[in-house]
Each structure stands twice: as structure tokens, then as C-alpha cells.
Amino acid sequence: MKRLPVIIEEEIMGRILPPDKVAGILVEPIRGEGGYIVLAPGFFPALRKLCEYDILLIADEVQSGVGRTGKWWAIQNFGAEPDIICIAKGIASGMPMGAMVARKHIATWPRGSHGNTFGGNPLACAATLATLELIENEYMENAACIGSYALSRLGQMMENHPSIGMVRGIGLMIGIEFVESRESKKPAESLRNQIVQLAFERGLLTLGCSKSTLRISPPLCITKKEMDEGLDTLEEAITLAEENINHATRFSRSSA
């Protein structure tokens, strides 16, 4: 068995650790709760090369998989192939369903070594089959198309809203990071929370992640018209929240 160079061990793992002590590396191709962060293009090929030392590369595709990025699996956007994929949520359109897909030489457990309480639920299985058919024939392409359009519109929106520090994502997995200023890059958590509330009051459901990121993760069947309507409402909420923050700042300074 090859041994990792010490410098790589220290950089990647934080301490010296021989590869025979590492079963696998579990990673989200696009970080979900961490802020919808898209990693650098060369990261996953380098990680795949690192895993040549008899380490399994495991992709957590629970949020990013099943067509959301315009491909079946988000990791396909980065030129790397995992040994194991963890799947859930989008695979059955909200019905309780999960799956673990692995290379044949890994999945060698004898029958009965793994069990679960709700396995083989016929309703969930029917929902999964219908979902996969729709995604393959229509929705995966739609996610790529509408996602690209949304990223373009959000890029234009950035020009008018200095509180937007970054827009990032692939397909219909998009994050908008709000900052106090683009120079400081300090997370504007309070502003993000106001935007979520103001959007909700106007009929748009949004959800935050990380400190100050707002995620755009709509159903893969969303139309261009629906996306436009949602982004218009979102921009209205951003404008109002920015005005509230600016007013509060001016009042605080005048009081002082």
C-alpha cells in the first residue's frame, strides 16, 4: 500500500495519518447547509487522486443529486467519479426514500446484513419511479436551462444591490450570500433574515443556510415565468430590507 506524503497528510487531514487508517472521505459536491458553496474546479480530481491510496470517495448527494444541477449527480460537474453515492429527498419528490449506490466490489454484504423498518414501501417506490422518469425525460434539462437563466438574472441584480456579496451555484441549486459590505465580506445575517421574512409576507418561501446565505432551490419543474415572478418578489424584499438597514444605521448615527 502506498503512503501519502507527510505534507499532504498534514494539509488534508490536519495531522499525520496513514491511508490504512482512513476508510473513506465523505463530501458534498456542493455544500448544502454550509452555504451552497461550489468548490474550485480542480478540487474533486485532486481528491479522487488522493483516494487512490485505498480510500473510498463518498459523495453525499442528498441535496445536490437527482437532477438538481442539470446532471444526475452534482459531482459529474467536476470530473470525478465517486465510489459510493448517498441519495435521498429529491429521489421521490418528498416521499420517504433513500438509497446508497456503490461500486460492485464494495457492495459485497451478505443477504440480511442490512435491514430497515420501512424498506420496500410500495407508495414510495411508485413515487420514485415516476420522479426518475420525469427527471430523465424533462426536468433535468429544465434545471440546467432555468438555473442558468436565474444565475444570469441574479448577476444583474447584484449590480443594484451592494448587500449581495456573491451569487453561486449550478442548475437549480443557487446560493445568494449577503454581506455588510463587499470590502469587509462580513456576513449580514440580520439582513438575510429580514429578506426571508419580507419575501414570506409577499408569498415567496425562501430558506437560509450558513450565516448569511439564502438558497434558491425550487422544484425542477419550475417555469421561466415562475422564476421571474419569484426573483421579482425576492428583489423587492431585498430592496426593502436594505432600506430598513440603511434607515436604522442613519438613525443610530444621528442619535449618537
Is 150 a domain residue? Answer: yes
pTM of structure: 0.86
Distance CA 254, CA 256 (A): 5
Over the stretch 175-228, which tens digit does the pLDDT of each residue have? Answer: 999 999 999 999 999 999 999 999 999 999 999 999 999 999 999 999 999 999
Please say whether the beta carbons of 170 and 69 come within 8 A: yes
Are 163 and 94 part of one and the same domain? no
Is 129 a domain residue? Answer: no
pLDDT score, position 248: 62
Please say whether the beta carbons of 98 and 124 come within 8 A: no
Are 39 and 83 part of one and the same domain? yes
SS3 label, residue 128: helix
pLDDT score, position 110: 86
- Is it the case that residue 64 has pLDDT exceeding 50? yes
Please, which pLDDT band fits residue 93 given cuts at 50, 70 and 90?
Answer: very high
Are 251 and 154 part of one and the same domain? yes
pLDDT score, position 15: 65
Residue 133 in grid coordinates: 422518469
Mean pLDDT to the nearest integer, 121-147:
96
Are 66 and 155 part of one and the same domain? no
- Is it the case that residue 113 has pLDDT exceeding 90? no
- Is it the case that residue 48 has pLDDT exceeding 50? yes
Is 98 a domain residue? Answer: yes
CB-based contacts of 13-22 (< 8 A; 24+ apart in sequence): 19/53, 19/54, 19/55, 20/54, 22/53, 22/55
- Is it the case that residue 252 has pLDDT exceeding 60? no
Q: Could you report how far apart the first and last alpha carbons of the chain are, in Å? A: 67
Distance CA 205, CA 171 (A): 19
Are 247 and 196 part of one and the same domain? yes
Eight-class DSSP state of 137: I
Cell numbers 507527510 correspond to 6
Q: What percent of the chain has pLDDT over 70?
A: 90
pLDDT score, position 128: 96
Q: How many domains does the chain have?
A: 2
Please, which pLDDT band fits residue 250 given cuts at 50, 70 and 90?
Answer: low
Residue-number span of the structural domain to which 73 is assigned: 6-111
| Amino acid letter, residue 171 | G
Distance CA 63, CA 117 (A): 23
The CA angle 226-230-236, to the nearest 5 degrees, is 150
